[in-house]
Structure 1
Amino acid sequence: MSHTALIPSHRKPRRNASKTALRAGVAGGVLSTIAVAGAAGPAHAEPVTQTIEMPTITAGLSTTVAASAEATQQVALDLETQAHEDAAATTAAKAAKKAKAEAVRKDEAKKKAEAAAKAKAKAEAAERASRTAERTTLSAPSGSSASGSSVSTASAPVSSSATGSAASVVAFVQAQVGDAYVPGGTGPNSWDCSGLVQAAFRTVGVDLPRVSQSQSTAGTQVGLGNLQPGDILYWGSAGSAYHVGVYVGGGQFVGAQNSSTGVVQRPLDYDMPTGAVRIL
């Protein structure tokens, strides 16, 4: 017998392989649980970190941003330019519309004025034709006297009591009796009514307007019952007279009447004037 046979052994008995594997599995599970709990544990525990390197995306970014900004600015400039063009077009359209309306208004006013002038000329022509017919009737022989001689309403020139400048005017118009009547005539051998009156007063240094309308307001208005030799007689309204002549005294006047009679001297009742003006 060995001298160690009675000494108890300190070795633990061997465990079989299955038990060992089981314990290893339990231990592994416990360790895994502890690791998970540690990760979710108190704040003072150090978290597991891992650095992930991201791919670089800033390459060419500044160029893209600049191009985008430039495109945005160009769009803004285009919009501003378009706005200015639209405003200018609107302004031009309004101006054109206003100009057209003004042109239409002026054209209508011109047409109205022309129509009024034609109507006035027609009325004056009719009045003159009526006066011409009346004068023709009055100047024709009106009958015979007791001795059988015919009597004419035409009056021979009479001497005037005018003196000074008025006498010169009277002498001038009487000297033209028998001259022809021509529209627009101003002498020396053919006249219209206002041309004869203007020429007569020009001999005494008075420059009268050319037309009857203006001559009828060139002096002081006087009544037909207060006439003096040298007064201007007018037919029609003052300022719109259609005929003028010169009072020569003795109830008679001289005027360039019409193309049928020419310049004549007649009594006032041959063609009673509307009014008179005194220049001298």
Structure 2
Amino acid sequence: MITLPIGCAVAAVVVLGFTAPASAAHLSTGDRIVNAAAAQAGKPYRSGGTGPGGFDCSGLAQYAHRQVGITLPRTASAQRATARSVSKTDKRPGDLVFFASGSKVYHVGIYAGNNKIWAAPESGDLVRLQTIWTSSYTVGRAW
């Protein structure tokens, strides 16, 4: 029996009729971060939530990174200060997308590709894939 971490994306390999999970080692760190966030889909928004039962936006980002061995600070502002800036045109899945009003970061999501982020948007909502709704954001990479 092969045991994989919870939330790990698995591809199947078929050899002579035997099906076995392929190693997740071939996935990039960014893809592993996205998969860790996606595995939390449908969990409730919880103010101050760091999982696994509920999340706020920065708690989800922190949790997904922790699943791949990366330590992030707790708040979106501290995460922004820690992450290396990346241009919007160079963003890749797993990068952090930050939304701010003036100098105050009010939301963070994990870039999933195709102009979408995994996020815990707001009270009463669930962790979900959402479209980036504005061009006013910055991108950071913590991996």
Identity, % of aligned positions: 33
* TM-score computed with the length of structure 1 as normaliser: 0.40
CA shift for structure 1 position 250: 1.9
Q: Secondary structure at the match of 1:277?
A: strand
Provide the C-alpha distance between the structure 1 equivalents of 2:136 and 2:97, rounded to a whole number of angstroms: 6
Q: Which has the higher strand share?
A: 2
Q: Which amino acid letter does the alignment assign opposite residue 138 of structure 2?
A: G
Aligned residues of 1:216 and 1:239 also touching (Cα < 8 A): no
- Per-residue deviation, residues 109-155 of structure 1 (Å, max 9, x unmatched): xxxxxxxxxxxxxxxxxxxxxxxxxxxxxxxxxxxxxxxxxxxxxxx
Measured in 1, the distance between the counterparts of 2:45 and 2:53 equals 9
Q: Is the 8 A contact 1:219 1:279 kept in 2?
A: yes
1:279 paired residue number = 142
Residue 193 (1) aligns with residue 60 (2): no
Corresponding residue for residue 179 of structure 1: 43
Q: Of 71, 81, 86, which aligns to 1:207?
A: 71
Specify the SS of the correspondent of 1:191. coil
Q: Secondary structure at the match of 1:204?
A: coil
Q: Could you tell me how far 1:240 is from its partner in structure 2?
A: 3.0
Match in the other structure for 2:90: 226
Amino acid at match of 1:167: D
Alignment-derived partner of residue 245 in structure 1: 109
5 Å-filtered alignment, 1:64-75, equals none
Offset from partner CA, 1:16-63 (integer Å, 9 cap, x none): xxxxxxxxxxxxxxxxxxxxxxxxxxxxxxxxxxxxxxxxxxxxxxxx
Q: Deviations over 1:162-187 (max 9, x none)?
A: 93211111001111111100101111
Q: Structure 1 residues 163, 271: CA separation in 2 closer, same or farther (over 3 Å shift)?
A: farther
Letter in 2 for 1:249: G
Query: Which position in structure 2 is the counterpart of 1:217?
Result: 81
Q: Which one has more relative contact order, counting CA pairs under 8 Å at least 6 apart?
A: 2
The structure with the larger Rg is 1
Deviations 1:208-247 (A, max 9, x none): 1001111012121112222100100111169631111100
Q: What residue ranges of structure 1 are gaps of 5+ in the alignment?
A: 1-161
Distance 1:189 1:216 in 2: 24
- The CA deviation string for residues 226-276 of structure 1, in whole angstroms up to 9 with x for no partner, is 2100100111169631111100112211100012322110122x3555111
**Structure 2-normalised TM-score?**
0.75
